[in-house]
Amino acid sequence: MAETEQRNQVLILCNTKSDYFSKLLLNSIRHILPESSMLEVTRKAFPDGERYYRIEVDNQLALFGKDCIFVASLLDDDDYMEFYRIAYTLDQLGARSRIFVIPYLGCAWLNEDLQHGEVSYLKANAQLFSAITTSGFGNSFLFMDLHHVQFLHYLEGSTLHVELQSYAALSQAMEENGFFSSDFMFASADLGRVKTIDLWSKKYKTDVAFVRKEPDPVDGTTRTSVIGQVKNKNVIIYDDMIRSGRTILAATHALLEEGALSVRVVASHLCCSEKTIQQLIASPITHIICTNSHPTTQSPLINDRFTIVDVTPLFSYAVNQILRPNISPTLDEMQPFFEIERAMSAFSYRTPSPAAGTFYAPQASRVPATESVPFQVGLQQYTPTQQRTTGHD
């Protein structure tokens, strides 16, 4: 077998909502696998609601011995069902390993106080992931900045599941966009991300503020109050996601009413409607930074008020760590990753000593820049509950 055939192990496929992300990921992993390629999926919908899927392979042995990467941001229940069916089919077609890149995991909210008969979305969806059959080198799940990290602990079976963290990538974007110019401090939009705000404030040695939401005892409406001194400060709000935008907008107005000079927003996921994008643009928020994990970031409404950070190199590095025992890249192809490992540094609050590295990505733009800059990213790995199958061909 020719050397190029031996090394052409990785095929990438995606759901329709993640097409943009899969193409960026393909360009990134070609550092070590220059002949990696996309694998097409045909989809049809019948009038009665039934769905048809076909992975476009020439014969029944086309995926034997191949490593497949399935890129899928999961926004709704339809995405989950398509994801499960295609993931199951990859195993049945004999793919040697299956790596599931999930930049955004929707429908994973935690029911903290379940009422009788109420469905636990978090647990139910984790069971769906765990039900995907596994053979060969097994299944690997790569997530990023989960809304509820408890999701990982509900996964079962011999899978590798990892939460990647985008905090350092966002940090560099803040620096490049002048967020740290003068008299800045961090604040939360509510009391749900206190630990993350504490992480930012300790790293940059700033004061912190928290916005508290509580019902008005008179009319029952929700009112906001600010805990901390924000007068004459340029405030940076961090939240893991912007969905309806109500929390971010309410916090912005509350901070400005307390004397803040400006309010800038940083979020891991921009998962809102186009109506919310228009509301954000019309708001007094000075600038918004988020990753490109969600297809909303590709909307034509996104303008220069937004900075979109490409995080595909973060996933590319994780893919390399998983596949490295199974491939034989040259020293020249591995050089970017050697540089990453030499530059490792910690940036996490969830573990004492997480892995981290320097990655290369386009500078804060929806359209990839011709030159790239280094940024650091944290990586959080969770040990599988059962020993994962390893080996070499």
pLDDT digits 0-9 by tens, 61-104: 889 888 999 999 999 999 999 999 999 999 999 998 899 999 99
Does 343 have pLDDT greater than 50?
no
SS3 141: strand
DSSP notation for 3-41: HHHHH--EEEEE-GGGHHHHHHHHHHHTTT-TT-EE--E
- Spatial contact of 343 and 336, defined as CB atoms under 8 Å apart: no
Nearest to 265 by CA among 249, 282, 244, 243: 249
Tell me the pairing of strands 208-215 and 222-227: antiparallel
What pLDDT shows up at residue 331?
52
- Spatial contact of 310 and 361, defined as CB atoms under 8 Å apart: yes
CATH class for domain 168-309? alpha beta
- Spatial contact of 267 and 205, defined as CB atoms under 8 Å apart: no
pLDDT digits 0-9 by tens, 259-274: 999 999 999 999 999 9
Q: Cα(348)–Cα(224) distance, rounded to whole angstroms?
A: 29
Name the CATH architecture for the domain at 3-166+311-362+372-382.
Answer: 3-Layer(aba) Sandwich (3.40)
| CATH 3.40.50.2020 domain range(s) in the chain | 3-166+311-362+372-382, 168-309
- Spatial contact of 312 and 144, defined as CB atoms under 8 Å apart: no
On whether the pTM is more than 0.95, the answer is no
Element (H, E) at 123: helix 121-130
pLDDT digits 0-9 by tens, 235-293: 999 999 999 999 999 999 999 999 999 999 999 999 999 999 999 999 999 999 999 99
Task: Give 260 or 351, the one with higher predicted confidence.
Answer: 260
pLDDT digits 0-9 by tens, 171-220: 989 999 999 988 999 999 988 888 888 888 998 999 999 998 876 666 55
